[in-house]
Structure 1
Amino acid sequence: MGLKKMIGEFKNIVKYMKYGGVVKVTNTYTNQSELFVGKVALVTGATSGLGMAIAKRLLSEGACVVITGRNQEKLDNALKELNSNRVKGMLWDLIACTEARTFFNKAVTLFGKIDIAVNNAGVYSWKSSKDVTVGDWDTILNTNLKGLFFLCQAESEYFKQIESVNKIINITSMEGTLAGFGPYYASKWGANGLTQGMAKELAAHNIIVNAIAPGPVKTNINANYFKGQEDSQYNPDSRSLTGRMVLTEEIAGLASYLASDISNSIIGQVIIMDGGISLR
């Protein structure tokens, strides 16, 4: 363990001793229950984690929401948790690039239109670069970049037919802004660049494109960070300037802001939300 990491872990121990393992995190926002009334949002990869939090937030603010997932059981459970007649679900694996337009058109039929697209679905790999196989590379790039491109292509062609302002929000990653050796880094660098290129091309069509690039977030994918503290608001991350992980509710709040008309002059931005990790 390096000295920097040892210091970070020591700071966490001090916090545990002082607060009994829990540090209260204040996450304040104004819930505007009618902000998205009459709007329909598509949130891909929304059976858990970030996608679920974003779907909940948009739903609470009046939107109808279409959620997608790759597993029927998880999709059914997500629909039960959301428990609203303003949410519908559909099976959709982003890796099926040739069917992106068909899937998107089906999503449109569920509520008759789509105004907001939050492209959250993706895959992650914990493997060291030396252990990555060709199959790993293909799965990650075909989902996170190729799949994202053809999904965005379908969304943008649909939105071009609509006179109102429409939003596309890509959920990428802080790791797409840092040096990294592996397919996940490559896919997220590509997704961030794709976001900026789309924004430049599509703004003239009243399609506003941005990305949120989260750092480590308190989701099941990062469960090893907070083992034994599942119910705690405090989940240590010695790399963060806040000393904790980002909350899914914080990402959802930013997604809501970018999806609203309040942010219509924010175009082509990759907004990093990582607790300051990328500043170190």
Structure 2
Amino acid sequence: MESNLNKVALITGGSRGIGASIVRRLAKDGIAVAFTYANSSKRAEELVNEIQRSGGTAFAIHANAENVNATKEAVEKTIEEFGRINILINNAGIFEQKMYDQFTVEEFDRMVAVNVRSVFEGVQAAAPQMSEGDRIITIGSVNADVTGFPGLSLYAMTKAAVAGMTRGLARDLSPKGITVNNIQPGPVDTDMNPADGSNAVLLKEIIAIGRYGKATEIADLVAFLASEQAGYITGASIDINGGFMI
């Protein structure tokens, strides 16, 4: 806890699901948290109030990662509010499943913008303000390596791109002592992909431990990678998927 005093994190897409669990966990660990939201203004306000009632520090930023410079501006607002940024969590992402020949160019560009470009944009803005021991963590997907179902070509491409970007950025930022890692969750129980949803029975059959992951389990791994104990891990894509399709 002591080592987290005065640390600041920005979590993109932090008002719901995995992002909100990361916000809660890092705030619990004594880190001041800023997070972005695109549409869920009520949820964002409620999350800020929840963190503050628990004695933590939180700041919500309206930003749509689809828009050019939105993530860059969120980094700038975080620094304006807290004076620094030590941890960048690239969590904002979108998912759409349909066959390759059904995607429009606009849909292609949107998914790449949110899932790939915004990650790079955030790193470009944050890394120059960071120093030794600081952390960059992206929430990717198990679909970077396996799909298992039709209609995932575009989404899988964006998550594979994030994994490759992580390796390159880890090398680029190693002289500054900044680690860069990618977390690849399998199916996680959120309101967007509930454990009792229409695909749940089929998905559970191909997960070795037979259940969806919990958003708090993803947040726990984020907290570890953000800690001093993870200083020798960089450029890694770490699966947390319950044995998905093994």
TM exceeds 0.5?
Answer: yes
Residue 155 of structure 2 corresponds to residue 202 of structure 1: no
1:30-179 equivalences under 5 Å are 33-71=1-39, 72-84=41-53, 85-159=56-130, 162=131, 164-178=132-146
1:122-271 equivalences under 5 Å are 122-159=93-130, 162=131, 164-178=132-146, 181-223=152-194, 225-227=195-197, 237-271=204-238
The answer to whether the 8 A contact 1:118-1:171 is kept is yes
The answer to whether the 8 A contact 2:11-2:23 is kept is yes
Distance 1:114 1:209 in 2: 15
3-state SS of the aligned residue for 2:93?
Answer: coil
- Opposite residue 237 of structure 2, the aligned amino acid is V
3-state SS of the aligned residue for 1:221?
Answer: coil
Identity of aligned residues (%): 29
Larger Rg: 1
TM-score w.r.t. the length of structure 1 is 0.79
Distance 2:2 2:63 in 1: 29
- Opposite residue 273 of structure 1, the aligned amino acid is I
Q: After TM superposition, give the deviation of residue 206 of structure 1 in Å.
A: 1.0
Distance 1:103 1:51 in 2: 15
3-state SS of the aligned residue for 2:122?
Answer: helix
Q: After TM superposition, give the deviation of residue 131 of structure 1 in Å.
A: 2.3
The answer to whether the 8 A contact 2:64-2:70 is kept is no
Distance 1:136 1:99 in 2: 18
Q: After TM superposition, give the deviation of residue 78 of structure 1 in Å.
A: 2.5
3-state SS of the aligned residue for 1:130?
Answer: helix
3-state SS of the aligned residue for 1:97?
Answer: coil
Mark the runs of 5 or more structure 1 residues left unpaired by the alignment: 1-32, 229-234
The answer to whether the 8 A contact 2:84-2:129 is kept is no
- 1:209-246 C-alpha deviation (Å, 9 max, x unpaired): 001000000111112x4149xxxxxx971111100011
Q: After TM superposition, give the deviation of residue 149 of structure 1 in Å.
A: 1.1
Distance 2:214 2:244 in 1: 15
Give runs of ≥4 in structure 1 deviating > 6 Å. none
3-state SS of the aligned residue for 1:212?
Answer: strand
- 1:31-76 C-alpha deviation (Å, 9 max, x unpaired): xx54522211111111011111111111111111111101223322
- Opposite residue 211 of structure 2, the aligned amino acid is R
- 1:144-194 C-alpha deviation (Å, 9 max, x unpaired): 0112111111111222xx3x3210001110101225752211111101100
Distance 1:135 1:253 in 2: 35
- Opposite residue 264 of structure 1, the aligned amino acid is G
Distance 2:197 2:70 in 1: 39
- Opposite residue 196 of structure 2, the aligned amino acid is F
- Opposite residue 48 of structure 1, the aligned amino acid is R
TM-score w.r.t. the length of structure 2 is 0.89
The answer to whether the 8 A contact 1:46-1:69 is kept is yes
The answer to whether the 8 A contact 2:170-2:234 is kept is yes
